[in-house]
């Protein structure tokens, strides 16, 4: 385990996902000296982004309640000794990240942009320990495919995924989690896509046994804390059954540390 990281921007020549999928020239920003904690559960928070207008110019602004309960989510994740991850955006997902880092949890962002320069035009870097930029140039044939690709990539390392509110991108991410048989926490009463997903689950419209675990929480401090504790406990149980000692982001960290000269 390295003693520290050197903050800066690094480029990983090739990332391999599975046997035949490769991503070239992946840029990563390291913002703190803390080494990435491979042994920790990764909890990802998905929801309505902010400061980035849609095609009609509408921006989803988080409420004061969203901010307060977002900070609570971050603190509870930190208390569980877990990493908090998101799509590296403002809006609802930003406040759990801030709450987590202020509580000394490690924070991870997975950005849909190709590099830090493009990312920083509309998205945050503060309160992140590390951001990986997975955006590629799909524009010729697939406009905005950077975002759908990020949605999928965002779910790969996650042990637990929480969703709150959301419009189009959030259900995309949630469906990946459910199809993969992951651990999913839906916050009932948070509005938007998440409430529609909760309704679909409870009415058994969205019903398929993939081996996943669905936990539905109310939008209250007590219920959120209970749900996160349950989700992390489930993830730890799965690690024990699988005999794992490292989270799924570790393969990226291995390549990053080679570039940094640590390995």
DSSP line for 142-190:
STTHHHHHHHHHHHSS-SEEEEES-SSHHHHHHHHHHHTT-EEEEEETS
Against a cut of 0.85, is the pTM above it? yes
Among the ranges given (15-19, 37-41, 52-56, 251-255), the one the predictor scored with the smallest mean pLDDT: 52-56
pLDDT (average), residues 133-161: 84
Is the residue at 58 inside a domain?
A: yes
Is the residue at 174 inside a domain?
A: yes
Is the residue at 28 inside a domain?
A: yes
Is the residue at 3 inside a domain?
A: no
Place of tokens 């989690």: 177
Is the residue at 78 inside a domain?
A: yes
Domain assignment of residue 163, given as a range: 8-260
Is the residue at 2 inside a domain?
A: no
Sort 19 into a burial class: Cβ within 10 Å, 0-12 / 13-18 / 19+: exposed
Count: domains in the chain: 1
Place of tokens 């801030």: 98
pLDDT for residue 53: 66
CATH assignment at residue 209: 3.40.50.450
pLDDT (average), residues 226-249: 97
pLDDT for residue 23: 87
- CB 41, CB 157: distance < 8 Å: no
Select the more confidently predicted residue: 210 or 19.
210
- CB 123, CB 90: distance < 8 Å: yes
Is the residue at 1 inside a domain?
A: no
- Interval 85-106: pLDDT, tens: 999 989 999 999 999 999 999 9
pLDDT for residue 1: 57
- Interval 179-211: pLDDT, tens: 999 999 999 999 999 999 999 999 999 888 999
pLDDT at 50 over 80: no
């Amino acid at each position: 385990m390295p003693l520290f990281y050197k903050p800066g921007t690094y480029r990983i020549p090739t990332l391999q996902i599975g046997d035949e999928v490769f991503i070239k020239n992946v840029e990563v920003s390291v913002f703190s000296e803390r080494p990435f904690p491979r042994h920790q559960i990764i909890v990802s928070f998905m929801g309505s982004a902010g400061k980035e207008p849609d095609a009609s110019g509408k921006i989803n602004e988080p409420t004061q309640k969203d901010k307060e309960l977002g900070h609570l989510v971050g603190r509870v994740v930190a208390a569980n000794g877990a990493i908090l991850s998101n799509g590296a955006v403002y809006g609802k997902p930003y406040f759990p990240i801030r709450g987590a880092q202020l509580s000394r949890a490690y924070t991870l962002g997975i950005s849909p942009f190709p590099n830090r320069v493009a990312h920083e035009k509309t998205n945050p870097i503060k309160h992140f320990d590390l951001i990986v930029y997975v955006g590629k140039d799909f524009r010729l044939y697939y406009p905005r495919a950077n975002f759908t690709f990020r949605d999928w990539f965002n779910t790969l390392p996650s042990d637990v995924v929480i969703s709150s509110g959301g419009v189009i991108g959030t259900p995309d991410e949630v469906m990946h989690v459910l199809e993969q048989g992951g651990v999913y926490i839906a916050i009932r009463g948070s509005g938007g896509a998440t409430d529609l997903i909760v309704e679909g689950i409870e009415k058994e419209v969205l019903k398929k046994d993939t081996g996943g675990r669905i936990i539905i929480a109310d939008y209250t401090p007590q219920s959120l804390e209970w749900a996160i504790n349950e989700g992390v406990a489930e993830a730890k149980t799965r690690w024990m059954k699988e005999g794992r000692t490292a989270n799924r982001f570790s393969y990226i960290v291995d390549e990053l540390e080679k570039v940094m000269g640590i390995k």
